[in-house]
Structure 1
Amino acid sequence: MNKILLLFIFLLGSLPFTISFQNPTLSPENLAEKAKSKSLFNGKDLTGWHVDVPKMDNDPTARNPFITRNGLLVSLGTPGGHLITNDSYKNYRLEIEYRFADKPGNCGALVHVSTPRALYEMFPQSIEVQMMHENAGDFWCIQEDIVVPDMEKRRGPKEKWGVNGDKLRRIPNLTDGSEKPLGEWNAMTIECVGKEVKVWVNNELVNHGFDATVQQGQIALQAEGAEVEFRKVLLTPISKLKD
């Protein structure tokens, strides 16, 4: 009886190791990374962010299009502008849960943000990951560039590529139908590692770029015409480059 009990205790004690070995999500490296995750939105106010809305420069009556409401971060859509993190980041996974609060429209999450108002005196230098309804996961190049497979097929004639003005700055995503029906929450994951940017929408890989001209910077959310609610903006550092 004592031998059976000792064998049971031994097996029970080894169980966590066995699960950890078989399930990558419980590996020591992933557990360490998860422990460093931090929400960029505290659920109460815009601590850690600053607003860049050109119309607010000289119009004291202009409203701030970024507010908190019922524990959510909300982009009211107008006037146009950006909510930008105070800190810069490199090698990370950004998880965002969002939905259009009223009518479908346009919005975006910008990574590797640097110079404000670098394009059209509005958009900061960055790589935008589109959230526009039915286009979630497109890349838009804003004074920075990124490469994807089948570039000419997806972006258009090479001689028209560019990162400003009337150049072809949009790189469409790879899928259709990845977004949830209007009113439901979408989950977008953006993984920035080295010169690569990968995007998932509702757990489906929708874009993968490489050879980006930038590898770090601030993160921004847009006010671009439509009201959008955010209930999750979670950043997890990635400690090393992946193969």
Structure 2
Amino acid sequence: MNFKSLYVALACSATLLVAAQKKTCLFNQKNLKGWYAYQSETGKNEKADAVFSVSDKMIRMYGANAGYLMSNKSYDNFVLSVNFRWNTDTQFVRKSDKKNSGVMYWVPENTSDELWPKGIQYQIKENATGDFVFLQEVTATINGVQNTPGKSVVSKFFKNNEKPAGEWNTLTVTCSEGKITQILNGEIVNEASNASVNKGRILLQYEGYPIDFKNITIQKLKK
């Protein structure tokens, strides 16, 4: 390798290192700054502490009302990482015994608040974690075929890689140049491309079974 090639290689490595250091924490482990709460029963930011709380450096969701936390900022190309676990402690009030939740992304800024707004959901559900759910007419191409638009369209995962209830899982979503990759505990579980949305907010859902979130980070990718 000549000096010019060595310089280029070192420069590329340095660029990748800098990019890797630009990871941003979306949750400060102290409060819900940077997010707003919505509940189907009470609306935006009303009685949020009935469902959403922060303790031990994690977000805890439980209670009788379904809802979500929505990020104030929007993102396009990124790597999103979230730790989650089902909270099986029976002292926490729950709306349902069905383990069902999700992390949504690319929720457009002009979308009104409702329990399942427009966007793409990384489904967190017992025996279905990693499914795509395309909401409110969103479309994408999977295995060379575009899904039919609908209110809620599911595309099944490739494999079940979720840990037992009560253990922490790591989900990752990579959105880059129109390609979406969903990863669970280090394994690719779903892929899509050419989505009809390509920028929007991040959303953490509570659908009735207590769930905890922590270590929520995002790394912006260059176009």
Q: TM-score, normalised by structure 2?
A: 0.83
**CA deviation map 1:92-119 (0-9, x unaligned):** 00011111011760110001012134xx
Larger Rg: 1
Does the 8 A contact of 2:139 with 2:196 survive in 1?
Answer: yes
Which residue number in structure 1 is paired with residue 190 of structure 2?
207
Where structure 2 has 5 or more consecutive residues not aligned to the other structure, the ranges are 1-5, 89-96
Which residue number in structure 2 is paired with residue 123 of structure 1?
116
Which residue number in structure 2 is paired with residue 133 of structure 1?
126
Please state whether the residue corresponding to 1:79 is helix, strand or coil.
coil
Please state whether the residue corresponding to 2:17 is helix, strand or coil.
helix
Residue 172 (structure 2) aligned to one of 158, 180, 189: 189
Structure 2 CA distance for partners of 1:202 and 1:50, relative to 1, 3 Å: same
Matched, 1:171 2:155: yes
Higher strand share: 2
Q: How many Å separate the matches in 1 of 2:194 and 2:124?
A: 22
Which residue number in structure 2 is paired with residue 234 of structure 1?
217
Structure 2 CA distance for partners of 1:188 and 1:62, relative to 1, 3 Å: closer
Residue 60 (structure 2) aligned to one of 62, 74, 81: 74
Deviation at 1:27, TM superposition (A): 2.3
Which residue number in structure 2 is paired with residue 13 of structure 1?
none
Higher helix share: 1
Residue 43 (structure 1) aligned to one of 23, 29, 42: 29
Q: How many Å separate the matches in 2 of 1:62 and 1:233?
A: 20
Q: How many Å separate the matches in 1 of 2:173 and 2:163?
A: 17
Q: How many Å separate the matches in 1 of 2:49 and 2:24?
A: 29
Residue 162 (structure 1) aligned to one of 149, 173, 180: 149
Equivalent residue letter for 1:199: Q
Moved over 4 A (4+): 60-63
Does the 8 A contact of 1:163 with 1:169 survive in 2?
Answer: yes
**What is the percent sequence identity of the aligned residues?**
27
Which residue number in structure 1 is paired with residue 201 of structure 2?
218
Equivalent residue letter for 1:105: K
Which residue number in structure 2 is paired with residue 110 of structure 1?
104
Q: How many Å separate the matches in 1 of 2:86 and 2:28?
A: 20
Structure 2 CA distance for partners of 1:63 and 1:211, relative to 1, 3 Å: same
Deviation at 1:83, TM superposition (A): 0.5
Structure 2 CA distance for partners of 1:180 and 1:236, relative to 1, 3 Å: same
Which residue number in structure 2 is paired with residue 94 of structure 1?
80
Please state whether the residue corresponding to 2:125 is helix, strand or coil.
coil
Corresponding pairs, count? 205
Where structure 1 has 5 or more consecutive residues not aligned to the other structure, the ranges are 1-16, 156-160
Q: How many Å separate the matches in 2 of 1:34 and 1:66?
A: 31
Does the 8 A contact of 1:56 with 1:64 survive in 2?
Answer: no
